[in-house]
Amino acid sequence: MGGIKSFYINGGLTRRQTFGLVGGLAGTLALAPLLSARASDAIGEMTEVKGDVMRTQNDVESLIKIGAPVANNDLVATGSKSFASMLLGTETKIIMGENTEVLLDSFLAEQGGTIELVSGDMVFDRPEGTPKIDLTIRTTFGQIGVRGTKFFVGKSRGNMAVFVEHGLVEVKSGETLRKVGIGEGVDIAGDSKTRSLFGGDVSETKKWGKGRIEEAYKSVGLL
């Protein structure tokens, strides 16, 4: 279906420690309006965090936890043997595998925008029957145009690949454009340098077997 188109415990503190505590509290109070404003800019939140998951926000990197808001320009990154999920708006889910970086470039809830898969593997999941959104996902090999769908993008059997579970996406790499439908996938050949500069060769669409689908979903922690 669908069309084309990230307290203090005071127990005998020294004077120096107390001074640091007061200073830290003052800094926290001063920061409160900024944090409040940041929360108001949220486009979604973290719904699952397993292992080491970091968020770079305004050039500051920090650990991120379940329930933390995410905003445009946030870079969310998972470490080794780590997984994460984000809910953007009320319906759009981004599921990240290990060693994956996703930049929330310019997402507008229930309308679309741009997200960048900087590295790694991810699944985009928007339930069937929900209103369509116009979204572009940038990658090292090119871009994916999508409305209301569920698909995997990442490394699969030696190449970058895209697999669509439901919906329809456009995969554009270099001068090649493929429309990928339900149960279909494409492979993007070429080394990373070639893909990032010019885009690699995109294979013809073909049906993926159960084994390859399971491999892809396992890489993002879904199986």
Q: Does residue 8 form part of some domain?
A: no
- Distance from CA of residue 149 to its chain's centroid? 15
| pLDDT for res 37 | 36
Q: Is the pLDDT of residue 183 over 90?
A: yes
Q: Does residue 86 form part of some domain?
A: yes
Q: Does residue 155 form part of some domain?
A: yes
Q: Looking at per-residue confidence, does 25 or 218 come out higher?
A: 218
Q: Could you write out the DSSP letters of every residue in 184-207?
A: EEEEE-S-HHHHHHT--PBPPPEE
Q: Is the pLDDT of residue 204 over 80?
A: yes
Q: Does residue 28 form part of some domain?
A: no
- Per the structure, how many domains does the chain have? 1
Measured in degrees and rounded to the nearest 5, phi and psi for residue 148 equal: 40, 80
Q: Does residue 3 form part of some domain?
A: no
- Rounded Cα–Cα distance for residues 153 and 70 (Å): 21
Least confident of 114-128, 143-157, 180-194: 180-194
Around 89, how many Cα atoms within 13 Å sit in the side-chain half-sphere?
Answer: 17
Q: Looking at per-residue confidence, does 165 or 111 come out higher?
A: 165
Least confident of 76-80, 155-159, 204-208: 155-159
Query: Does residue 205 contact residue 163 with C-beta atoms inside 8 Å?
Result: no
Least confident of 49-53, 127-131, 158-162: 127-131
- Rounded Cα–Cα distance for residues 172 and 188 (Å): 10
Q: Is the pLDDT of residue 192 over 60?
A: no
Q: Looking at per-residue confidence, does 15 or 183 come out higher?
A: 183
Q: What is the pTM of this model?
A: 0.78
| pLDDT for res 75 | 98
Q: Does residue 201 form part of some domain?
A: yes
Spatial CB neighbours of 169, under 8 Å, sequence gap ≥ 6? 4, 144, 145, 146, 149, 151, 162, 179, 180
- Is residue 210 exposed (0-12), middle (13-18) or buried (19+ Cβ within 10 Å)? exposed
Place of tokens 């439901």: 166
| pLDDT for res 32 | 43
What CATH number is associated with residue 80? 2.60.120.1440
Instruction: Report how far apart the first and last C-alpha atoms of the chain are (Å, whole number).
Output: 24
| pLDDT for res 40 | 57
Residue 67 one-letter amino acid: G
Could you tell me the residue range of the domain that residue 160 belongs to?
44-218
Q: Does residue 30 form part of some domain?
A: no
Least confident of 12-26, 107-121, 164-178: 12-26
Q: Does residue 57 form part of some domain?
A: yes
| pLDDT for res 96 | 98
